[in-house]
Amino acid sequence: MMRAGAMYGRKKSKTNPKMKRYIFTIRNGIEIFDLPQTLEMLDKAADFIKGVIGKGGRILIVGTRPAAQNLVKELAEKFNMPYVIERWLGGTLTNFKTISKRIEHFKNLKADKAAGKLEKYTKKERLEMDKQIEKFNRFFGGIESLSQLPDALLVVDTTYKNHLTAVREANRLKIPIVGIINSNADPDAIVYPIPANDSARSAIAWILNKIDKAIEEAKLQKAVEQPPVAQQPAA
């Protein structure tokens, strides 16, 4: 964890006073996290995630910071989980009905293209539709399978750009959040905060690897607990 650089926070001048309880010391003006405490909170977050997955719940992973995008996509696609790695669109949660209609339109448009149903349009119209599909795929591709509100959010860097909007929407709907948070964040807005360096790829990868293992364990346990399929009697 130290090799991954997970202990580095922000400059002291940017620290949220509520984060002081997670700080071990200050080095060259940079807050240094108390790693034993970080590990403890990561374990709690992992246990929560295992519980959600074990009950068949869905977790929406949010990570639009460049250092996190590929890592988030890899984790989400490995377990067929919804994700956002481009800009968070306001209302994704709080206006889910409207977002769902846009996703459905996107899926229908893609299906029509695959079936050759767009050939009846002019070349100019098809180009416009291709641009629309590309735009939809960028913003909705990761949540295409999200047919209902998620049971939890996993957010990498809760203060990055419009991640704050995602956090507010989840809190408004009482959707629990697991968040990798830096020293400038508000831990009270996150049910399962993980205080750590949320901007270094190595640190993000280390934490997501732990979460990967938790999800894997939950899915294996769920598979073991599944009742055997009853065999049909011979005719």
Tally of domains in the chain:
2
The CATH number for 63's domain is 3.40.50.10490
Q: Within this chain, do residues 33 and 74 fall inside the same structural domain, yes or no?
A: yes
Q: Within this chain, do residues 121 and 77 fall inside the same structural domain, yes or no?
A: no
pLDDT of residue 234: 57
Q: Is the pLDDT of residue 93 over 70?
A: yes
User: Which of the residue ranges 11-15, 150-154, 196-200 would you say has the lowest mean pLDDT?
Assistant: 11-15
pLDDT of residue 64: 95
pLDDT of residue 13: 75
Per the model's pLDDT, the better-predicted residue between 82 and 229 turns out to be 82
Mean pLDDT comparison of 1-5, 107-111, 225-229, highest-scoring range: 107-111
Q: Within this chain, do residues 120 and 199 fall inside the same structural domain, yes or no?
A: no
pLDDT of residue 4: 64
Per the model's pLDDT, the better-predicted residue between 182 and 227 turns out to be 182
* Angstrom distance (rounded) from CA 70 to CA 55: 27
Give the tokens for residue 181.
């948070």
Q: Within this chain, do residues 28 and 115 fall inside the same structural domain, yes or no?
A: no
Q: Within this chain, do residues 43 and 110 fall inside the same structural domain, yes or no?
A: no
Would residue 155 count as lying in a domain?
A: yes
Confidence of residue 77 (pLDDT cuts 50, 70, 90): very high
Q: Is the pLDDT of residue 3 over 80?
A: no
Domain that holds residue 116: 99-141
Q: Within this chain, do residues 62 and 110 fall inside the same structural domain, yes or no?
A: no
Q: Within this chain, do residues 31 and 80 fall inside the same structural domain, yes or no?
A: yes
Would residue 43 count as lying in a domain?
A: yes
Q: Within this chain, do residues 89 and 103 fall inside the same structural domain, yes or no?
A: no
Sign for the pseudo-dihedral over CA of 147, 148, 150, 151? negative
Per the model's pLDDT, the better-predicted residue between 199 and 6 turns out to be 199
CA dihedral 205, 211, 214, 216 (to 10 degrees): -60
Would residue 175 count as lying in a domain?
A: yes
Q: Within this chain, do residues 163 and 202 fall inside the same structural domain, yes or no?
A: yes
Q: Within this chain, do residues 70 and 155 fall inside the same structural domain, yes or no?
A: yes
Radius of gyration of the chain (CA): 21
Q: Within this chain, do residues 66 and 170 fall inside the same structural domain, yes or no?
A: yes
Would residue 34 count as lying in a domain?
A: yes
Would residue 200 count as lying in a domain?
A: yes
Q: Within this chain, do residues 208 and 120 fall inside the same structural domain, yes or no?
A: no
Per the model's pLDDT, the better-predicted residue between 187 and 120 turns out to be 187
pLDDT of residue 84: 97
